[in-house]
Amino acid sequence: MFNILKRSKNLKNKFDRKVLKKNNISILILDERWNSLFKNIKKTDKIIRIEKELINLLKEEARLNSEFKEISNQKKKCLNKIIELTPKVFEENNENSRIEMESCEKSIKKINQRFEEIGKEIEIIPDKIKDKNLELLESTVNTVYFKMRKNQKRLKELENLIDQARKSLESYIDEKGELSEDDTDIYTYFHDLIGKEELEKLDKEYFEK
């Protein structure tokens, strides 16, 4: 990843978008793994803002495609209607049919104008989505890597604490073994020296109070 990063004036890492645009970067908000990044990391206000802007762009793209399909159907209906009306207008000289045909022709003219407008918007919106997606990627990296840097610092602290705890545990285990060995040696000595009955009296005197 680091070969596509460059250093900016404010010392923050920025992606070289010329390089990334050649790659097929998935839409982050639709990527389950991107969403999982924020299970334990809070999204910044900037990420939330860019995320909303990207959602709006995707909605706009879907709306334009839907409208394009809808007016295509409308144009097809108008063309079919004109074909249907043509004999009535030119052979029967039907005035109502002529008026209806003119209405269809006006509708087709408006549809063609809208086709041109939608075509321009549909042509540029994928680049808008890609740029917004890369902007979101940059903000994500800055946020997530900052968190990772904090995690690395805490991991080192925990490693030191675990090492200290391990040494303390080993010391406790050694002390426990020494004390247990001492007690066994003492108990065995007095058992042999004064006998079981006297030893039981000492046990009651010192350990059962």
Q: Establish if 3 belongs to a structural domain.
A: no
**Residues 141 and 47 both lie in one domain:** yes
Residue 2, domain member (yes or no): no
Domain check: are 57 and 101 in the same one? yes
Task: Please check whether residues 140 and 191 belong to one and the same domain.
Answer: no
Q: Are residues 190 and 97 in the same domain?
A: no
Examine residue 203 and state whether it is found in any structural domain, yes or no.
Answer: yes
- Residue 42 is encoded by which pair of tokens? 């809070």
pLDDT tens figures, 55-102: 999 999 999 999 999 999 999 999 999 999 999 888 888 989 999 999
Domain tally, the chain: 2
pLDDT category of residue 11 using cuts at 50, 70 and 90? very low
- Give the residue numbers spanning the domain of 83: 14-35+42-159
Q: Are residues 115 and 144 in the same domain?
A: yes
Would you give the DSSP letter of residue 2? Answer: G
The answer to the question of residue 1 being in a domain is no
- Strands 5-7 and 13-15 come out as antiparallel
Same domain, 136 and 179: no
In a domain, 107, yes or no: yes
Q: Is residue 192, in this structure, part of any structural domain at all?
A: yes
Q: Domain check: are 26 and 57 in the same one?
A: yes
pLDDT of residue 16: 64
Where b means 16+ CB within 10 Å and e means fewer, 52-88 reads eebeebbeebeebeebbeebeeebeebeebbeebeeb
Q: Would residue 6 count as lying in a domain?
A: no
pLDDT one-digit tens code per residue, 118-163: 999 999 999 999 999 999 999 998 899 888 888 899 999 999 999 9
Same domain? 143 vs 195:
no
Q: Is the pLDDT of residue 172 over 70?
A: yes
Split at pLDDT 50, 70, 90, the class of 10 is very low
Dump pLDDT digits (tens) for 23-34. Answer: 678 899 999 999
Domain membership flag for residue 29 = yes
Q: Do 105 and 187 fall into the same domain?
A: no
138 vs 13, 32, 34, 78, 143, CA distance in Å?
A: 8, 18, 13, 48, 9
pLDDT of residue 4: 41
